[in-house]
Structure formats: structure tokens, C-alpha cells
Amino acid sequence: MNATIEKERLVSDIVRLRRAERASPARDDIAAVRADLERLTGPTVTRAMAARLLGVSQTALDRWIAAGDVPVLITPAGRREAPLHALLELVEAVRERRLADPHDRHPLGSVLQARRSEAERLSTSTLLRRAERRRHDHDGGHRDAQLRSLAYHRAVAQRLDERIVRDAQDRLTRWCSQARIDPRYAQRWKKILTKPPAQIARLIGADTPHMRDLRQSSPFAGALSEPERRRALAAVDETPA
């Protein structure tokens, strides 16, 4: 039980550091401390802990998971748990919702509804071109995985801003410190992430052999909400008009 309480405290501290880091001139130092805490916390938290941090019952959280609003990962032990990054984003969004409307009795529901609405505005017809789909029909399963990654990154490109770029830079730094990415890929991504957002958007959405290879180790993982991610990936299975 003490380990559970300590982990929950760590997650709460990480949320506070994320807020402080955005407004601090010592952003890089705070980000380094936050990365250490995230490493200590681990990649996932139990659904029970996620529910407590979000201020809802686990039953309610499980309903949103079943509806596709909140992602889960299967741990090596076979448990369904909440990814830490997605949880942190939700906890912050719920806090901002409470500040914006203190009378909202269901802030998480409001946040998830807003994310569903935003996902519905994502135009899947613009994510893949006819020629790219024809290659999919010809090449089969491997191309299917490539197109899902392409559609995902083009959806990220549609909403790319400085915050998403900073998050990708932080994630890449963390992966490098944990030796979770090939140094060759890391150097290529570092070079891309120094460019202006508009140029980054064009690069990550390019259907070239170089980018297809690079997207297999993408620091933009987690940049979309779960409804947006699902909608983007569904574009691969849509029949073009």
C-alpha cells in the first residue's frame, strides 16, 4: 500500500512540475527532474490510481475506456493500465476545466466530450491520397502499418504547434537518456525538431522511404488524444470517394 501511495504522490508531483516548467526560465532543468520522476513512476499506472487522480470512480473510468475515450496498455503482467503520458495530459486538462468552470460537476466528462468533438472535425479524407491507397492495396500488410503511421502523423501535422514540438523534444531527450532509441534515429529527429513547426509538419507527413523508416521511432507518439488517434487510423480502412 505504501508503494501505491508513493507512486500516486510521484504522479501528482510530475503534474505540478509540468505546469511549472512551462512558465519557468529554468525549463530545461525542471524538465530533467520531471523526466527522472517519470522514469521512477514507470510507463503506466493502474486504472484505480488513474481514477483517483482524475476524481472519478474506476467504474466511470472503465466506461470511458470501453468507449475509446481513454487509452489503456497491456502490461507484461497482462493488466490493463493507463499510459502515464495520457493520464498526465488528462489530469492537467481536468484541472484547467475546473478552473474555467468551478460549477462543472463532471469536468472529466466535459474534457472527453470536447476531445470527441475535436476528433470529429478531423478530416480523414485529407490524410491519405489515392495513389498511397493504391500502394496499400498492392503491397498488403506491411504497407498497412506504414499508412497507419502516415495517417497518424498527418493528423499530428494538422494541429502541430510549439507545445507539441516541445513535448516531442522532451520525449526524445528522455528516450536518449534511457537508450530507448537508436542514436542514428535520434540524431535525425533532433535535426527535424529544430525546424519551424510548419516545416516539421511537412516533413513528418511525407510519404518517402526516409520518413517511413524514421516514423517507426517517432517522438510524436501520444501527441493526439485517443479519439483523434482512432479516427486518424481509421482513415486507412476508409473507401476513397
Answer yes or no: do 27 and 68 share one domain: yes
- Is residue 37 situated within a structural domain? yes
Answer yes or no: do 36 and 79 share one domain: yes
pLDDT at res. 239: 54
Q: What percent of the chain has pLDDT over 70?
A: 94
Number of domains composing the chain: 2
Concatenating the DSSP letter of every residue in 169-220 gives: HHHHHHHHHTT-S-HHHHHHHHHHTTS-HHHHHHHHT--SHHHHHHGGG-TT
pLDDT at res. 192: 97
Answer yes or no: do 131 and 228 share one domain: yes
Question: Predicted confidence band at 138 (pLDDT cuts at 50, 70, 90)?
Answer: low
Answer yes or no: do 79 and 138 share one domain: no
Answer yes or no: do 131 and 49 share one domain: no
pLDDT at res. 9: 93
Do the beta carbons of residue 17 and residue 37 sit within 8 Å? yes
pLDDT at res. 240: 56
User: For helices 84-100 and 107-120, what crossing angle results, to 10°?
Assistant: 110
Q: Of the candidates 109, 141, 157, which is a domain's last residue?
A: 109
Query: From CA 116, how far away is CA 226, in angstroms rounded?
Result: 9
Q: Of the candidates 46, 74, 109, which is a domain's last residue?
A: 109
Rounded mean pLDDT of 152-181? 90
Entry field: residues in the chain: 241
Rounded mean pLDDT of 66-94? 94
Q: How many CB atoms lie within 10 A of CB 53?
A: 19
pLDDT tops 80 at residue 141: no
Answer yes or no: do 209 and 177 share one domain: yes
Answer yes or no: do 99 and 170 share one domain: no
Question: Predicted confidence band at 80 (pLDDT cuts at 50, 70, 90)?
Answer: very high
Answer yes or no: do 135 and 222 share one domain: yes
For the segment 117-126, what is each residue's pLDDT rounded down to a tens digit? 999 888 887 8
The parent domain of residue 217 ranges over 124-237
pLDDT at res. 139: 55
For the segment 30-56, what is each residue's pLDDT rounded down to a tens digit? 888 888 888 889 999 999 999 999 999
CATH number at residue 29: 1.10.1660.10
Answer yes or no: do 139 and 91 share one domain: no
pLDDT at res. 241: 52
Answer yes or no: do 15 and 104 share one domain: yes
Rounded mean pLDDT of 200-211? 95
- Report phi then psi at 77, rounded to 5: -85, 0
For the full predicted model, state whether its pTM sits above 0.85: no
Answer yes or no: do 224 and 133 share one domain: yes
Rounded mean pLDDT of 193-210? 95
pLDDT at res. 177: 82
Q: Of the candidates 85, 109, 133, which is a domain's last residue?
A: 109
pLDDT at res. 11: 93
Residue 157, C-alpha cell as written in the block: 501535422
